[in-house]
Structure 1
Amino acid sequence: MRQTLLREAPVKARPSAPLNALRTFEAAARHLSFNAAASELFVTPAAVSHQVKHLEAYLGVSLFQRNHRSVALTPEGAALATSVGELLGQLDRALDRARTRAPTELRVTTMESFAAKWLVPRLHRFHQAFPDVRVRIDTSDERADFHRDGFDVGIRYGPGNYVGVCAEVLMQAPVFPVCSPTLVSDSQHRLQHPDDLRHYTLLHDEGASGRAGVPAWSDWLAAAGARKVNAASGPVFASIYLAQEAAASGHGVALGLAPLVEEDLRQGRLVRPLDQELRNAYAFWLIQRETAQPRADIEAFCQWLRDEQCRPLVAIQ
């Protein structure tokens, strides 16, 4: 009996993913601008448009809604942008690790004030304990994209409710008045009662305005029972860091955040002329990427941060 041999038809290979088009799309999606993406990638806007059309043809979907002078992501484009941003971030980090045999680099994003006043004075102790881990600190107040920007650990001052990451309270941030010791010693007016502040310049942080639960001078004066002080008087600074530095320079009295003034209080650059302190709805948060495979160096650094916030200041050399 004759048997017919049936052969399976060869499976047609799927064209490889257009990686250059994906990188171009990610930049255009992040900026929502072909011109800005072109500047970042050092190509022309026409080249960006060509790569995006190439990717759309490959996928068979529209990724952008093209308007007269702007572009917007379609739902399909928005979903792809999130995934591509994460994957390209992972790819970049893998290439960095393969490119060099340098010690492990751990990227930390935090505010300049926290880095200067709390983290940097303590960082030598982490290096002593983990000499093979190179810590790179990036300072910014902007919300960080851990996947796109490649950060491993974040420290932020805020109310919490951070989405898509693992977050825990690192330190509370009570508020109290601080000033230079020379300010009170050289003044004709003693500073022993909250109402005595009427003889001094109040230094304000504009970041406290409009943030529910973040104490401003009006809150502190009311809680302290001061009735003779104009809470609105005095200069306004763009950050608490600048206000505290102005206080250390003798320009007035600022409301200090406990973690950011600890070292200056220890060194005598600042003093607490009045004891009253207020609770703060904002705190310093420790943030990590959500991952199924935690890295040993990240876990070590996070545990070191937890331990450091409990260590006495006299241990800092």
Structure 2
Amino acid sequence: MKSRPPAPLNALRAFETAARCLSFQEAAGQLFVTPAAVSHQVKRLEDYLGVKLFQRGHRSVELTAEGAALAASLSELFGQLDRVLDRVAAPTAVQLRVSTVESFAAKWLAPRLHRFHHQHPDIQLRIETGNERVDFVRDSIDVAIRYGPGAYTGVHTERLMDAPVFPVCAPSLANDGRRPLTSPDGLRQHTLLHDEGSTGRAGVPDWAAWLETTGAIGVDATRGPMFASMYLAQEAAVAGHGVALGVGPLVEEDLQRGRLIRPFDDSLDNAYAFWIVRRQGADTAPAVDAFCRWLWTEVSASAVASRG
């Protein structure tokens, strides 16, 4: 049987990049070559395999069935190769890439990270924010923390924290004698701050749900500005611009430091929670294990502090 000549690695890399971008021009920019060079490498790979990988249009390209199958495999293989090369090139520098939502990064993670760095000075953390589905191989993400229902397929998940919801505001707002917040009805005189994260998601409390539960009278649940994230709504509350619905773990630090207070005790359960998300079936990485153990330690410490 005649053996196949060695695979053209440059052509494979060019094809994987072009398949990910669905554009020879964008791929060229990422690879620091010309679009013609990318096209040449893709054609070289097609000749090597004897199949068409792209259907070329006037100003666009689309993957063929064979191209899509190859691209999926190459994405994972190149991701694995990049991680191996990183370990070989810098064996003493342990890097850990963590993906999480902006609100959690700013309000829960950032105030605590100095303790992780003190305990693990050999682990260099890179925190990236986003709430889209993580491709651990393609994006080289080691662990993710997500706010959601937890029904994530193809990955390993652990429930990190519940996320009860309750109103929060600046102390100056609550102590305004002209507009007392002694009962939920008093919210008629205050601006309600909303965030898109609680809009239209089953089981995630919004102002309408909270006001209905407490029996508040005459409060328009739709009144007030809408913010793109919980973090922004919470920062507006800290600044005294209105009353926000705080998500327990995210307002913990501001409550402890007196930047926010809870004007009412009423709290609603939340169908969403905070989850640790890891690759399914992946070899255990000591740095990932260390980070997850630290997360659990911090959650336990927070629980003890809140009971005290």
TM-score (norm 2): 0.93
The answer (yes or no) to whether the contact 1:266–1:313 under 8 Å persists in 2 is: no
Which residue of 22, 31, 51 maps to 2:12?
22
Residues 1:40 and 2:30 are matched in the alignment: yes
2: CA distance, partners of 1:298 / 1:108: 9
CA shift for structure 1 position 183? 0.9
Q: Which moved more, 1:262-271 or 1:56-65?
A: 56-65
What is the identity percentage for the equivalent residue pairs of Structure 1 and Structure 2?
Answer: 63
The answer (yes or no) to whether the contact 2:171–2:261 under 8 Å persists in 1 is: yes
1: CA distance, partners of 2:273 / 2:71: 32
Query: Which ranges of structure 2 fall in alignment gaps of 5 or more residues?
Result: none
TM alignment of 1:42-81, pairs within 5 A: 42-81=32-71
Q: Secondary structure at the match of 2:68?
A: helix
Match of 2:139 in 1: 149
> 1:117-162 CA distances to partner (integer Å, 9 max, x unpaired)?
1112222222233232222212223332210111111011112222
- 241 and 292 in structure 1: CA distance in 2 versus 1, 3 angstrom threshold: closer
2: CA distance, partners of 1:60 / 1:193: 74
Residues 1:91 and 2:78 are matched in the alignment: no
2: CA distance, partners of 1:137 / 1:112: 10
Match of 2:225 in 1: 235
The answer (yes or no) to whether the contact 1:110–1:140 under 8 Å persists in 2 is: yes
TM alignment of 1:91-110, pairs within 5 A: 91-110=81-100
2: CA distance, partners of 1:108 / 1:258: 22
Q: Secondary structure at the match of 1:62?
A: coil
Runs (4+) of structure 1 exceeding 4 A deviation are 313-316
The answer (yes or no) to whether the contact 2:106–2:231 under 8 Å persists in 1 is: no
TM-score (norm 1): 0.90
2: CA distance, partners of 1:162 / 1:49: 37
Which residue of 190, 194, 218 maps to 1:204?
194
- 293 and 313 in structure 1: CA distance in 2 versus 1, 3 angstrom threshold: closer
TM alignment of 1:183-262, pairs within 5 A: 183-262=173-252
Q: Secondary structure at the match of 1:107?
A: strand
Match of 2:72 in 1: 82
Residues 1:285 and 2:271 are matched in the alignment: no
Which residue of 146, 164, 173 maps to 1:174?
164
CA RMSD in angstroms comes to 1.9
Aligned residues: 306
Larger Rg: 1
2: CA distance, partners of 1:70 / 1:277: 52
CA shift for structure 1 position 55? 1.4
Equivalent residue letter for 1:129: Q
Match of 1:5 in 2: none
- 106 and 168 in structure 1: CA distance in 2 versus 1, 3 angstrom threshold: same
- 312 and 70 in structure 1: CA distance in 2 versus 1, 3 angstrom threshold: same
Match of 2:294 in 1: 304
2: CA distance, partners of 1:47 / 1:76: 22
- 313 and 213 in structure 1: CA distance in 2 versus 1, 3 angstrom threshold: closer
Q: Which moved more, 1:283-292 or 1:60-69?
A: 60-69
Q: Secondary structure at the match of 1:72?
A: strand
